[in-house]
Chain A
């Protein structure tokens, strides 16, 4: 282990500022306190305390002796510099305003994104043993984040470096909490006794180590305690699923929002052994464990990762080899679970590294663009400040002090921009929360990490915007500066051109990307899905008991006027995992075809509006077809190698498993069971008269929606009066699959607009200089007979070329990455060339309007005045 030492940079800071005579003593004191802290807290906490301790040392009596020269001279100098900076900012009002708008927009967006990024990265960083905790996942590919049962057992028993293994598992999802004759939905998990040893959630209980050890005991959260037990639950009884009583042995403080684990109730793991047959060592095919392991202190996680990687194959390898698949076991560090890209997290919220990266880049670009505005305007302005700098140098100013003067200006501007930015941030907070699905408050701006981040941001922006101009202007030769030999724009023109090109490179790139995403969303929305998602209302009946009452409800629903058809089904397009099962029927020659099969009733096809293109639907009049008939989709026809839908009718499907063997009686047109991100698989449907389906799908007449919902409620209450009716509309539900893309489109649109604004106002400011410096030229041209239009053209041409160049450069890049993005969708648009044209026209038009406003002013001037100028 490394020796634990106080943080170096804090100590450096200390040495820099503390009075030399006191240094040894104070440093010693701090170190002594630090080593005391190490014994009590974690090294991290001790370091944090040390740093805070250093910060608290900034007191006049302890600081380095600011002797008289500093005390008076330095303060006077600083005050004067600030006053000068203010005067200069006020002198060039337009430019200061442009810079302020750009920087405050940039800092506001930057600040909000900083908040978001800090928050996303802070997930699960509060667990004391967090460094040693890993989530165990066994899978053949990404997605499911669960583990096979025996793996947990093997880790627990056969690996000495593992201190303990936590088991968790979903509690049956239809189990509700019973309270005063009502049922309430809660998030419930089984958890073994290691839970509170691994995770540092605040637990109130008689004994932290023995909670969750006895069967039929639970731990609940404070909000459950407040809602159902009047704030005093320890020792009381809680009933789940109408029948099972549990003793409450612990209450946990509400779970912090930045945890990937969120729950309401934890049921002790031994309970499972009492409720069902259970074995820790068998069931290799049973992938519903969620395991976390705690590594022993000092153990090497990388070595363990290698050892467990093939644990699954080593134990059931033969069987897997036959199937041609392999499973790997992975250990994901606790802090990375939330942002992990490969596996889902159904334990709580899930972040997206991609989203974090995207918004970080956009914020960085926006800030960069705002800095570029500053650099462009300041260097353009340098001619006007040359005399000042020349004079200062003649009188004896050093280059350093001139740089300091200019940096003060940029710092001052950044600071003012930040104050405006703070106001913008607070105002935009509700919008930002909605966009990012977060719940930040103004209070979030006061966390230590955020303040630190903002300070770094401010310093970076000050240097990024101020340093280059300061460097250039301070390098002026005083002789040239004073004799006015600098010419009108002096130097840095080429750099300005490059920077403008870059600004429009970014702006236009973002515009194109935005259009691309919107295009794809429109495509997904409007594409023929192969079924009709409108006018279908779904009742979610998964909680209500199944059996004969289902048939009663179904016939009641069918008799409502305005209802065209009712299907009782387990499958619903757009719900992940909506299809029944995978099967591998064989085509001629024995090769297997990966097929989804599901069971439907006779109304399914009509209610969902699937199109039969050959054969017929299930019919209650033909019982033999109900028994052994199959309806398949076009893809299935193709994969089985049959010649078209008609040819498929009457063909037999042979399957190693019981289903979906049978005879094809109908073929439906391909339809999208999932969003257009996913491909269409071969599909086979057989008939089952459900009395235990999850959903009722109702096709209805939209003209009477309101009356209809009333009647449906009535029908439901007649049959299932003691359960809540839960219903939704199929089109809304299906479109939820596009929420991520919708969010991306919104984010991009907003940023594209902001970035365009920032680039344009930068251009606006720059043009005003150029136009001003070419006043005489314009006067002469006008006397020679040039029209206003011609002059605008002459003045704008140079900049329009830059804007177009920016557009041109970014196109291939967006083309490439756009295609990469689109390829994640099984069904996608090709990149439409018109979006490039639209982007060029948009940016060029905005730039042209910006440029013309300024140039028109110059062009309109009376040439006599123009020639008298200066």
Chain B
């Protein structure tokens, strides 16, 4: 996976961004991931993944609206780039290749 430079956690964050569509901003992504992974995440870990991916060209972002709860601060809404979608598909294909082979071998424990 070196070619695509997408870490495992980054991949999960990226998937959340895609799932959440126009709601894809920091806190919402955090909640989504916490729900799915059943574990506590920090704002910092999400944010650093987002910033890294933006730098690598997986994400674009723009400011969204501000809310009372955020002390009047604006959200930043993230969007996956076509490049990201391409990379995700590649990863998925690689994985699926593995899994189909494992299925043939009949691995029971998974």
Contacts and interface: CB of A to CB of B under 8 A. Distances in A.
Contacts of B51: 22, 61-62
Interface in A33-80: 33, 35-36, 52-53, 56-62
Contacts of B44: 53, 56-59, 62
A722 interface: no
A28 B69 CA distance: 8
Given A33-B30, A52-B42, A61-B52, A28 B74 contact: yes
Given A56-B44, A59-B44, A24 B73 contact: yes
Interface of B: 25-27, 30, 42-48, 51-52, 55, 63, 66-67, 69-71, 73-76
A-B pairs, top 7 by smallest CB distance, nearest first, are: A28-B73, A29-B26, A56-B44, A28-B70, A56-B42, A57-B44, A25-B76
B43 A53 contact: yes
10 contacts: A25-B75, A29-B46, A30-B43, A32-B27, A53-B42, A56-B42, A56-B43, A59-B44, A61-B48, A62-B44
A787 B30 CA distance: 82
A27 interface: yes
A610 interface: no
Contacts of A31: 69-71, 73
A628 B52 CA distance: 97
A514 B25 CA distance: 65
B62 to A, nearest CB: 11
A27 B74 CA distance: 9
A26 interface: yes
Contacts of B26: 25-26, 28-29, 32
Contacts of B27: 29, 32-33, 36
Contacts of A57: 42-44, 47
Given A25-B47, A25-B75, A28-B74, 20 more contacts: A24-B73, A25-B26, A25-B63, A26-B26, A28-B26, A28-B66, A28-B70, A28-B73, A29-B25, A29-B27, A29-B30, A31-B71, A32-B70, A33-B27, A35-B69, A57-B42, A57-B47, A59-B47, A61-B51, A62-B51
Contacts of B71: 27-28, 31
Given A35-B69, A53-B42, A61-B52, A28 B47 contact: no
Contacts of A61: 48, 51-52, 55
Main secondary structure, interface of A, reads: helix
A18 to B, nearest CB: 9
B69 A32 contact: yes
Contacts of A24: 73-74
Contacts of B43: 26, 29-30, 33, 53, 56-57
A516 to B, nearest CB: 55
A32 B47 CA distance: 14
Contacts of A29: 25-27, 30, 43, 46-47, 70
A22 B49 CA distance: 13
Contacts of B69: 31-32, 35
Contacts of B76: 25
A46 to B, nearest CB: 13
B46 to A, nearest CB: 8
Nearest to B41: A56
Interface residues of A, number: 22
A33 to B, nearest CB: 6
A474 to B, nearest CB: 38
B73 to A, nearest CB: 3
Contacts of B30: 29, 33
A36 B75 CA distance: 16
A32 B70 CA distance: 5
Nearest to B73: A28
Contacts of A26: 26, 43, 47
Contacts of B52: 61
Nearest to A31: B71
Nearest to A35: B69
Interface string A233-274: 000000000000000000000000000000000000000000
A60 B55 CA distance: 13
B11 to A, nearest CB: 17
A53 B52 CA distance: 19
A57 B48 CA distance: 8
Contacts of A56: 42-45
Nearest to A27: B73
Nearest to A53: B43
Interface string A511-539: 00000000000000000000000000000
A57 to B, nearest CB: 4
B47 A22 contact: yes
Contacts of A28: 26, 66, 70-71, 73-75
A59 B69 CA distance: 25
Nearest to B68: A35
Contacts of A58: 44
A61 B75 CA distance: 19
B72 to A, nearest CB: 8
B35 to A, nearest CB: 13
Given A33-B27, A52-B42, A59 B48 contact: yes
A22 B76 CA distance: 9
A57 B74 CA distance: 19
A303 to B, nearest CB: 34
A31 B26 CA distance: 11
A29 B45 CA distance: 12
A59 to B, nearest CB: 4
A28 B27 CA distance: 9
A777 to B, nearest CB: 64
A23 B99 CA distance: 42
A25 B51 CA distance: 12
- Which of B55, B67, B73 gathers most chain A CB within 10 Å? B73
A56 B46 CA distance: 10
A30 B46 CA distance: 11
A533 B40 CA distance: 64
Nearest to A52: B42
Contacts of A22: 47, 51
Nearest to B45: A56
B57 to A, nearest CB: 15
A554 to B, nearest CB: 68
Nearest to B76: A25
- Which of A26, A28, A30, A58 gathers most chain B CB within 10 Å? A28
A454 B25 CA distance: 38
A35 B63 CA distance: 21
B74 A25 contact: yes
Interface string A2-36: 00000000000000000000101111111111011
A32 B43 CA distance: 11
Nearest to B67: A32
Nearest to B53: A61
A60 B42 CA distance: 15
Nearest to B26: A29
A835 to B, nearest CB: 59
Contacts of B67: 32
B96 to A, nearest CB: 31
Contacts of A35: 69
A29 B73 CA distance: 9
Nearest to A29: B26
A862 to B, nearest CB: 68
B37 to A, nearest CB: 16
Nearest to B52: A61
Contacts of A53: 42-44
Interface in A835-863: none
Contacts of A30: 43
A27 B25 CA distance: 13
A62 B43 CA distance: 11
B107 to A, nearest CB: 37
A25 B73 contact: yes
A565 to B, nearest CB: 71
A391 B12 CA distance: 57
B2 to A, nearest CB: 19
A208 B56 CA distance: 53
